[in-house]
């Protein structure tokens, strides 16, 4: 039994070798060469499609204007994530002996929702608005599934997806569906605001006022107008620009090493011992009391805000500032913080199992015990997988413009609202009584 477990531990060292290097993806992205990043990811595809590779491939393909290929990759990621809610028993058992990195990665709830944002934009850019509406409905179904599965669901990312859905339904002239989505967005933003600190966007209130007036819902119109104020009038022969500005990167997970003391008097086979160990984190004991120092690797995540944290858009004499509609960093950190106690409990349980194997092996043969201990230490790796090319924050500018072709002047702001960079985006076509969608990414 011990030799079999040693073999499993040693074999697990080979897992995760090879594949793509994240630095080789972001360098061409940051230098304005998304096509090169896309080609690199294609060249280094895993033998079997997996997450988060498919997420990364889908997003990079989106920036390289390979919209159909982007959707294909994101669809595969979505299918894998959905399938993995039925866990693989063999992988789960392996992770108990070796590392959490052997657990099937399903993607977080917010990652799965954001994939629908990019899928919807892919359809918009291909001129397939019906396809974008299908993505909106799929996102709504996913949100409803999350809500139904968990009474304490945090609603992270749901406000933004519902808001996007409302705008796309409005662009298609499906006013009732647009109003339903806008109402859901207002509810979801409110539900998540305490943790995400993202307020309900002002333009969302304007949309509620505008559509209840259009649909003749007098009571709701009066209520929303009292709550949000009057919706700005739309001049004749104008259209609307909706610009999503994506800034920086969501912070990556890293590995943290923790040490927990096992004392000579401890009954390590007691099922209640793991909670006892958790309570000893950071405690110091005399050497004479110590039996073993149990070292574990656990993921951690820290804030890493980008240089640019806001946007202003100017078109001729018209100017508008961006509203924060999705704070991916805060959602990522809050999501991890909620999962950390479970991760720590599982990690300590696994490490304790390795220790028991080591102790048994060491009694039989010191050389074998040394091998087991070494294999246990080397394979103790934190699971730091995530969708790393996601932006840190997403801002939105919703701006009425005269019909015609325009050049946008984008001014990128720091956290204090000062302009720290700028860029021009030419040839943006605005059609009368239509909504033009556009997303723009910076990495600083």
**Structure pTM?**
0.91
Most confident of 343-357, 358-372, 429-443: 429-443
Query: Within 10 Å of residue 282's Cβ, how many Cβ atoms?
Result: 8
Q: What's 410's DSSP letter? A: E
3-state helix, strand, coil in the chain (%, to 5): 50, 20, 30
Looking at residue 4, its pLDDT comes to: 47
User: CA nearest 99: which of 236, 250, 298, 251?
Assistant: 298
pLDDT of residue 16: 47
d(CA 104, CA 84): 7
Q: Is the predicted pLDDT of residue 372 greater than 70, yes or no?
A: no
Mean pLDDT value of segment 321-339: 97
- Domain spans of the chain, in order of start: 254-301+338-378
Give CA–CA dist 422/98, Å, rounded: 49
In this predicted structure, the answer to whether residue 231 has a pLDDT above a threshold of 80 is yes
What is the rounded distance in angstroms from the CA atom of residue 143 to the CA atom of residue 120?
16
* Maximum Cα–Cα distance across the chain: 87
Least confident of 44-48, 65-69, 224-228, 362-366: 362-366
Half-sphere exposure of 37 (CA within 13 A, CB side): 26
Per-residue pLDDT of 104-123, as tens digits, reads 888 999 999 999 999 999 99
Q: Which residue has the tokens 């799965």?
A: 112
DSSP assignment string, 304-347: ---S--EEEEEETTEEEE-EEEEEHHHHHHHHHHHHHHHHHHHH
Which pLDDT does position 287 carry in this prediction?
A: 84
Which of 91-95, 173-177, 289-293 has the highest average model confidence (pLDDT)? Answer: 173-177
pLDDT for the residue 1: 46
CB proximity list for 43: less than 8 A, separation 6 or greater: none
DSSP, collapsed to helix, strand or coil, labels residue 423 as strand
- Region 115-144 average pLDDT: 97
Whole-angstrom distance between the N-terminal and C-terminal Cα of the chain?
A: 52
pLDDT band at 358 (very low <50, low <70, confident <90, very high): confident
Q: Which residue has the higher pLDDT, 98 or 436?
A: 436
The size of the chain, in residues, is 444
Indicate the burial class of 141 (C-beta count within 10 angstroms; 0-12, 13-18, 19 or more): exposed
Kindly tell me if the per-residue pLDDT of 93 is higher than 90: no
Can you give the pLDDT at residue 304?
Answer: 95
444: tokens are: 């600083």
- Mean pLDDT, residues 136-143 taken together: 97
As a whole number of angstroms, the distance between CA 429 and CA 167 comes to 18
* d(C-alpha 310, C-alpha 9), whole Å: 48
Average pLDDT of the segment spanning 176-183 = 98
Q: What is the pLDDT of residues 70-90, one digit of tens each?
A: 999 999 999 999 988 755 444
Give the mean pLDDT of 261-286. 88
Which pLDDT does position 89 carry in this prediction?
A: 43
Q: Is 157 exposed, middle or buried (0-12, 13-18, 19+ CB in 10 A)?
A: buried
pLDDT at 268: 86
């Amino acid at each position: 039994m011990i030799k079999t477990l040693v073999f499993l531990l040693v074999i697990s060292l080979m897992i995760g070798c090879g594949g793509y290097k994240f630095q080789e993806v972001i360098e061409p992205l940051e230098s304005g060469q998304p096509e090169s990043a896309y080609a690199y990811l294609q060249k280094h595809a895993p033998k079997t499609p997996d997450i988060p590779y498919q997420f990364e491939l889908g997003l990079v393909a989106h920036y390289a204007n390979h919209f159909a290929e982007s959707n294909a990759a994101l669809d595969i990621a979505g299918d894998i994530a959905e399938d993995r809610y039925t866990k693989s028993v063999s992988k789960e058992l392996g992770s108990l002996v070796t590392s959490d990195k052997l657990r099937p990665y399903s993607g977080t709830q917010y990652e799965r929702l954001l994939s629908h944002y990019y899928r919807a934009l892919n359809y918009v850019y291909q001129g397939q608005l019906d396809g974008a509406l299908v993505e909106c409905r799929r996102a709504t179904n996913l949100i409803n599934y999350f809500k139904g599965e968990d009474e304490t669901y945090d609603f992270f990312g749901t406000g933004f997806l519902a808001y996007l859905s409302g705008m796309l339904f409005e662009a298609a002239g499906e006013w009732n569906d647009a109003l339903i989505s806008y109402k859901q967005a207002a509810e979801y933003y409110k539900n998540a605001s305490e943790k995400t600190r993202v307020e309900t966007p002002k333009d969302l209130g304007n949309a509620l006022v505008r559509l209840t007036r259009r649909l003749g819902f007098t009571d709701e119109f009066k209520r929303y107008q009292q709550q949000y104020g009057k919706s700005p009038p739309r001049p004749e022969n104008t259209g609307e620009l909706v610009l999503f500005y994506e800034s920086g990167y969501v912070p990556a997970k890293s590995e943290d090493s923790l040490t927990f003391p096992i004392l000579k008097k401890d009954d390590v086979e007691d099922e209640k011992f793991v909670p006892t160990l958790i309570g000893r984190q950071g405690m110091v004991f005399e050497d004479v009391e110590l039996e073993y120092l149990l070292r574990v690797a656990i993921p951690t995540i820290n804030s890493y805000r980008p240089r640019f944290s806001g946007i202003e858009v100017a078109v001729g004499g018209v100017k508008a500032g961006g509203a924060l509609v999705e704070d991916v960093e805060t959602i990522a950190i809050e999501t991890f913080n909620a999962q950390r106690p479970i991760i720590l409990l599982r990690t300590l349980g696994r490490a304790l199992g390795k220790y028991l194997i080591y102790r048994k092996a060491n009694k039989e043969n010191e050389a074998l015990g040394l091998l087991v201990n070494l294999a246990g230490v080397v394979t103790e790796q934190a699971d730091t997988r995530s969708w790393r090319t996601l932006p840190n924050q997403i801002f939105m500018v919703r701006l009425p413009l005269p019909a015609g072709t325009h050049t946008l002047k984008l001014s990128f702001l720091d956290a204090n609202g000062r302009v720290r960079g700028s860029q021009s985006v030419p040839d943006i076509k605005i059609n009368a009584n239509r909504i033009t969608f556009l997303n723009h990414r910076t990495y600083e």
